[in-house]
Amino acid sequence: MNPIALVTGAGGGIGRVTAIRLSRAGYRVALTARDPDRLERAAAECPGPTLVLPVDLTAPGAVESVFADTEDEWGTVGVLVLGAGTATSSPVTRITDEEWRRQLDVNLTAPFRCVRRAVPGMRAAGHGRIVAVASVAAKRGDPYVTAYSAAKHGLLGMVRSVAAELAGTGITVNAVCPGYVDTPMTEESVANIAARTGKTPDEARRLLAGKQPIGRLITPEEVAAAVQFCIDSPGVTGQGLNIDGGAVQS
């Protein structure tokens, strides 16, 4: 029987490409995100069996619902890819409590709840792979992204601690840390920069591309390949892999 993967944030960007890649690799893939139409389109691109689970993972009971539905349909989740995320940009003095909470809820608390729910089944099976999509913002401080950076630093810290706790159980826990990726989230950053600075969208996009030494945006496929590497590498755990064209060397 094909192994089971659950991918959050699977409606677009990195999550969508990762879900399709895992399906092509022979996984049964449960896809979850808020937008059912985008999920259905992503599932239609997967060659193998899929389960579409539209839900807001920050809602009460949502994580339990997603796991229970997957288990009822197929069984224990063996691979968990935490691809859901959101980003905002504001000077620190203008970050509202609501914006701060939203960044932590989506980028840190919901992933934690997913990990907490996934681990017992993986431990019972003696095998599991957890990969969180973090960011180079988990490893450095950039201006105007205080809330996002705090959440992603927390996500990487969680990955490292859980990996240490589960070492020797057959479960690995890693993060991938992309730079600016050619996704709708980056397009939102482009729009914000253009609105704030008066630059054209093309100028703003070139500005972000230039933050990678390779001089271009990272592709979602490159990040998905790093996710696959983490899944396929039993000796790699507790790591934050940079996929940023050399911007952060560690």
pLDDT for the residue 195: 78
Are 121 and 186 within one domain? no
| pLDDT value at 157 more than 80 | yes
* Confidence band of 203 (pLDDT split at 50, 70, 90): confident
Residue type, 182: D
Percentage of the chain exceeding pLDDT 90: 82
Are 193 and 122 within one domain? no
| pLDDT value at 197 more than 90 | no
Are 225 and 140 within one domain? yes
d(CA 86, CA 174): 19
Is 137 contained in some domain? Answer: yes
Are 208 and 92 within one domain? no
pLDDT for the residue 205: 83
* Model confidence pLDDT, tens digit, residues 77-100: 999 999 999 998 889 999 999 999
Are 57 and 75 within one domain? yes
* Confidence band of 212 (pLDDT split at 50, 70, 90): confident
Whichever domain contains 62, its CATH number is: 3.40.50.720
pLDDT for the residue 189: 77
pLDDT for the residue 76: 98
Are 130 and 189 within one domain? no
CA distance to 59, 186, 187, 197, 218, per residue, from 191 (Å): 28, 9, 6, 10, 18
Are 188 and 231 within one domain? no
Domain total in the chain: 2
More confident residue, 161 or 182: 161
Query: For residues 154-187, b (16+ Cβ closer than 10 Å) or e, as one string?
Result: bbbebbbebbeebeeeebbbbbbbbbbbbbebbe
Q: Read off the pLDDT of each residue in 172-188 and give the average, rounded to a whole number.
A: 89
Handedness of CA 103, 106, 107, 109 (dihedral sign): positive
Q: Residue 27 catalytic?
A: no
* Mean of all residue pLDDT scores within the chain: 94
Is 250 contained in some domain? Answer: no
pLDDT for the residue 126: 97
Are 228 and 213 within one domain? no
Are 117 and 131 within one domain? yes
Most confident of 1-15, 62-76, 184-198: 62-76
Are 120 and 32 within one domain? yes
Is 249 contained in some domain? Answer: no
**Domain residue limits at 165:** 4-179+220-236
Is 244 contained in some domain? Answer: no
Q: In angstroms, how far is the first alpha carbon of the chain from the final one?
A: 38
Is 100 contained in some domain? Answer: yes
| pLDDT value at 1 more than 90 | no
Is 190 contained in some domain? Answer: yes
